[in-house]
């Protein structure tokens, strides 16, 4: 966890940059400062300016400066991580140290004794110091290259996948702690966690195995390709971790496992799929420590936040969150559950699978092999005296019928559905076979969500003279052009980002069910008519929410057009 010095926290509160309440919200996160940066609640430049001015030290940008090689090993690496310091340069007996806490005079006295040098402090935020330390100590590339060197054309691991004798040899190799596959998987998981990847894709090719990470919603190379001879061993090692059948090579399998990283448990979901050339493995990384489950910290528009709070405060009814896989639907629902979960409320969920464990919540995992389906589990849950029910996904008519009836009989039901926007959700439920009157009576709020990439504030590029007509054609309004300053991604990026983007933000469209809208649903009107009415009632569409974020400099117009459709 990235520690924030008490003096800096108090200083930012006194300067009015971060309220004490907001500090409390992010205090339990892995990296509180990074969470504030990503949410737009704190500008990194403002933090640096206030701390450097108050401590009377020089600020430094670690993305632009690298430490001298002869001073990097002056201090123990573990000590540097613990104290959030980085030796930078040495000029005679004057040692320059980058410190995340420039107010700690006892620390600098101790460093003088350890190094025998006079110490001069410069300042950089803790997340930047730790990121530089990780990059300098070991980025995993040397270990990966070592693995690749061990698995060459003549390594003996180039057995054909269809060769019967090869399976037992490869499985035995994967089970050994010193095997190349075990080492490679360890390096792979560590590098993915450090780069904050959400998924790892291991894909067989004709000669090599391609390994890619999904970072900020986009796939890119994780490590250099490895020899195809390692693929069976990699698959077997992953199956062992996830307690799957290592002898089964011709059927899809799903499993999960957990590892400890930086003092917390990280869950991994593994999906193995037979494809031409072998087995493709995809690992979903579920890091609950990186989640901000406070509604106020989600980054939604004030109107959308008000709609969500109004819906979850109702005693009964149904709220649906729609969007494609990986659009943040589960995080939104978990945030809602966290907001309403109190000691006097019984909250029960049915999920496939349970992505994040939540204290005080009864969570039921779907297991079709044991007869636990969404519909079956939901029937049992309704006999458990629940107040609030979270259904992971409405997939079929049976589940939809039970969920709607539960919403009409005194339960608050939260669930997800796969549709393109809020208005088409109604059509989808009716097409499933739910009576339109039941749909209109049960629904409280429909949300549609996407995740967009945030521009890196360290290297984003101002857009000079944006084309007015072009912007109007994609959804900008005439009033948006007052003092308009748009930004674009720096294609080259910098040391802190991936191609000009760093992190993601939610784009949330919320459509409350008004009396006029319920009438349209009962009359069987189309999704287009429902959306037209919603826009007249002040709906902030996905496109409009994206544009508002582009105007604020959170993202680029290109990213808004990528993730949203024209209204």
pLDDT, tens digit, 9 for 90 and up, residues 62-78: 877 777 766 777 788 88
Q: Closest Cα partner for 34 from 14, 4, 11? A: 4
Which region holds residue 375: left if phi is over 0, alpha if psi is between -120 and 50, else beta? Answer: alpha
Taking CA 155 as the corner, what is the angle to CA 149 and CA 156, rounded to the nearest 5 degrees? 155
Question: Which residues are bridge partners to 86 per DSSP?
Answer: 98
For residue 199, how far is the Cα from the chain centroid? 10
End-to-end Cα, the chain, rounded Å: 42
Q: Position of tokens 């450097």?
A: 52
pLDDT under 70: residue ranges of the chain:
1, 69-70, 137-178, 262-263, 288-293
The arrangement of strands across the sheet holding 443-455 comes to 362-365, 347-351, 388-391, 412-417, 317-322, 443-455, 501-512
- Packing angle of the helix pair 166-175, 231-241 (nearest 10 deg): 50
Which tokens is 61 given? 């940008």
Q: Position of tokens 């494809």?
A: 275
- Check residue 448 and give its pLDDT: 95
Q: Output the CA–CA distances (angstroms, integers) from residue 376 to 88, 366, 405, in the order listed.
A: 61, 9, 14
DSSP assignment letter at 2: -
- Check residue 91 and give its pLDDT: 85
Query: Alpha-carbon distance 384 to 392, whole Å?
Result: 18
Helix (H), strand (E) at residue 122 = strand 118-123
DSSP string covering 351-403: ESS--S--TT-EEEE-BGGGTB-HHHHHHHHTTS--SEEEES---SHHHHHHH
Query: Alpha-carbon distance 4 to 104, whole Å?
Result: 12
Listed as own residue / partner, the contacts of 166-175 with beta carbons closer than 8 Å and 24 or more positions apart are 166/232, 167/232, 167/247, 167/249, 170/232, 170/233, 170/236, 171/232, 171/233, 171/236, 171/246, 171/247, 173/233, 174/232, 174/233, 174/234, 174/236, 174/237, 174/240, 174/246, 175/236, 175/237, 175/240
pLDDT digits (tens, 9 = 90+) for 198-223: 999 999 988 889 999 998 888 888 88
Query: Alpha-carbon distance 318 to 413, whole Å?
Result: 5
Q: Position of tokens 């690496």?
A: 77
Query: Alpha-carbon distance 36 to 125, whole Å?
Result: 12
- Check residue 491 and give its pLDDT: 83
DSSP string covering 418-468: --SSSHHHHHHHHHHT--HHHHHHHEEEEEEEEEEEEEPTTT-EEPSS--H
Evaluate whether 167 touches 246 at the Cβ level (below 8 Å).
no
Which tokens is 198 given? 């959400």
- Check residue 147 and give its pLDDT: 45
DSSP string covering 15-35: TTSS-HHHHHHHTTSS-HHHH
pTM for the model stands at 0.71
- Check residue 416 and give its pLDDT: 93
DSSP assignment letter at 297: G
Phi, psi of 231 (to 5 degrees): -60, -50
Query: Alpha-carbon distance 487 to 470, whole Å?
Result: 15
């Amino acid at each position: 966890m990235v520690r924030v010095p008490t003096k800096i926290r108090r200083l930012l509160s006194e300067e009015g940059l971060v309220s004490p309440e907001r500090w409390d919200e992010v205090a339990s996160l892995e990296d509180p400062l990074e969470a504030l940066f990503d949410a737009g609640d704190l500008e990194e430049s403002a933090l640096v300016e206030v701390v450097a001015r108050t401590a009377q030290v020089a600020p430094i940008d670690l993305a632009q400066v690298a430490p001298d090689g002869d001073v990097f090993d002056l201090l123990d690496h573990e000590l540097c991580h613990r104290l959030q310091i980085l030796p930078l340069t040495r000029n005679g007996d004057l040692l320059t140290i980058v410190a995340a806490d420039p107010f700690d005079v006892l620390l600098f006295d101790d460093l003088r004794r350890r190094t025998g040098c006079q110490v001069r402090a410069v300042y950089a935020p803790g997340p930047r110091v730790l990121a530089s330390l990780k990059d300098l100590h070991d980025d995993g590339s040397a270990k990966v290259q070592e693995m690749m060197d061990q698995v060459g054309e003549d390594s003996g691991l180039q057995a054909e996948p269809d060769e019967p004798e090869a399976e037992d040899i490869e499985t035995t190799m994967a089970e050994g702690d010193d095997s190349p596959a075990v080492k490679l998987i360890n390096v792979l998981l560590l590098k993915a966690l450090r780069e904050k990847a959400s998924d790892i894709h291991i894909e067989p090719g004709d000669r090599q195995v391609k390994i890619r990470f999904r970072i900020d919603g986009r796939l890119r190379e994780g490590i250099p390709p490895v020899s195809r001879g390692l693929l069976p061993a990699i698959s077997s090692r992953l199956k062992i971790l996830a307690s799957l059948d290592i002898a089964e090579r011709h059927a899809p399998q799903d499993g999960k496992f957990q590892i400890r990283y930086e003092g917390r448990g990280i869950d991994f979901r593994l999906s193995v799929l037979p494809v031409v050339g072998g087995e493709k493995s995809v690992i979903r990384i579920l890091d609950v420590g990186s989640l901000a489950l406070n509604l106020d910290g989600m980054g939604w528009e004030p109107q959308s936040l008000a709609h969500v709070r109004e819906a979850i405060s109702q005693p009964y009814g149904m709220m649906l969150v729609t969007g494609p896989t990986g659009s943040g639907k589960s995080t939104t629902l978990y945030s809602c559950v966290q907001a309403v979960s109190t000691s006097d409320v019984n909250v029960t969920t049915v999920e496939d699978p349970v992505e994040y464990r939540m204290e005080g919540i009864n969570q039921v995992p779907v297991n079709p092999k044991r007869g636990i389906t969404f519909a079956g589990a939901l029937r049992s849950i309704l006999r458990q005296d629940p107040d609030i029910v979270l259904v992971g996904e409405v997939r079929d008519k049976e589940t939809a019928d039970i969920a709607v009836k539960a919403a009409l009989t005194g339960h608050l039901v939260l669930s997800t559905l796969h549709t393109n926007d809020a208005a088409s959700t109604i059509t989808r439920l009716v097409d499933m076979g739910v009576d339109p009157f039941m749909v209109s009576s049960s629904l409280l709020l429909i949300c549609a969500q996407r995740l967009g990439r945030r521009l890196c504030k360290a290297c984003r590029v101002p857009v000079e003279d944006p084309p007015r007509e072009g912007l109007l054609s994609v959804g900008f309004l005439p009033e948006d052009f007052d003092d308009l300053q748009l930004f674009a991604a720096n294609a080259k990026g910098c040391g802190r980002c991936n191609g000009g983007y760093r992190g993601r933000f939610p784009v949330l469209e919320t459509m409350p069910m008004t009396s006029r809208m319920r009438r349209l649903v009962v009359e069987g009107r189309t999704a287009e008519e429902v959306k037209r009415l919603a826009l007249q009632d002040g709906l902030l569409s996905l496109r409009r929410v994206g544009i508002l974020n582009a105007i604020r400099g959170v993202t680029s117009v290109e990213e808004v057009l990528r993730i949203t459709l024209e209204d």
